[in-house]
Amino acid sequence: MRKGLTGAFVAAGALIFSACSDTTTGPAGASDQLINFDVAMVAADGTLDHLAAIGDCGNGKLPLEGAERSCTVTYFDAAGNEQAAYDEVTTASIRLVTEMNGEFEREGWSATVSRSRQMTISGLEGAETSRTVNGSGSQAITRSNHSDEDGTRTYEMFGTSSIDNVVHGVPLEGNPYPLSGSITRDMTVMIIGGEDNGETRSRLAVITFNGTQFATVTVNGETYEMDLAAGRGMGPMRGGGRRGR
């Protein structure tokens, strides 16, 4: 087992949920479309962070400036026995446990973000042709501020995630974009400010990979494209992604 830098995952949201337990759904009007897009932005940022964690933990790198991040890596053979170190012949799978929290900004968005993930990477044994990632996680996004031509919107967002059969080509360095699979984020969104202050919305965001630079993000029926090559601070939504299609 190998450990990276230690960091603290901030478990938050229980008090907010207990105080705001009435979830308002309502018709899919303009405000709901804005929430869909804002959730898509947060889901896209989480996806980019996921891909960075896969690469960085595997290579022992934790370079994310402005964040606290920890990563624990455990190796297993084909029988499920834990190994002291990676073996290119006998290691069949890797378990990654990552935690991160920090202040982040992208074009039109800033937030305090905490994420925790447990992932299993399989397909390593023998003549490796691809790696498959499955796992789950949780996240808390506070002071999530979204600014664009429609104004400024602020939320608290909390939820869970499921990583389902995300297939990576090998080596990872030459295959940066997942070939297939999806990441699903089940989010509760609390609106801060405005006429709907304190109300909550539920959103399901599904990110689907197809082997290209652009992944599909679907939030409650609205579909967007995100750029998996978006660097730190860049807006991840393709072409600005202002509205779903």
* pLDDT score of 5 more than 60: no
pLDDT digits (tens, 9 = 90+) for 194-203: 999 999 999 9
Which are the contacts of 204, defined by CB distance < 8 A and separation ≥ 6? 184, 185, 186, 187, 219, 220
Residue 206 belongs to a domain: yes
pLDDT digits (tens, 9 = 90+) for 89-107: 999 999 999 999 999 999 9
Number of domains present in the structure of the chain: 1
Residue 245 belongs to a domain: no
* pLDDT score of 52 more than 90: no
Residue 155 belongs to a domain: yes
At 24 the pLDDT is 38
- Tell me the three state secondary structure of residue 146: strand
Residue 176 belongs to a domain: yes
At 232 the pLDDT is 86
* pLDDT score of 241 more than 60: no
CA–CA gap between residue 156 and residue 41 (Å, rounded): 14
* pLDDT score of 242 more than 60: no
At 185 the pLDDT is 98
Residue 191 belongs to a domain: yes
Residue 42 belongs to a domain: yes
Among 22-26, 116-120, 173-177, 224-228, where is mean pLDDT lowest?
22-26
66 membership: H or E segment, kind and range: none
Residue 127 belongs to a domain: yes
Q: Domain limits at 62?
A: 2-234
Token look-up 């624990």 returns: 72
Residue 242 belongs to a domain: no
At 37 the pLDDT is 96
CA–CA gap between residue 79 and residue 64 (Å, rounded): 35
pTM of the predicted protein model: 0.84
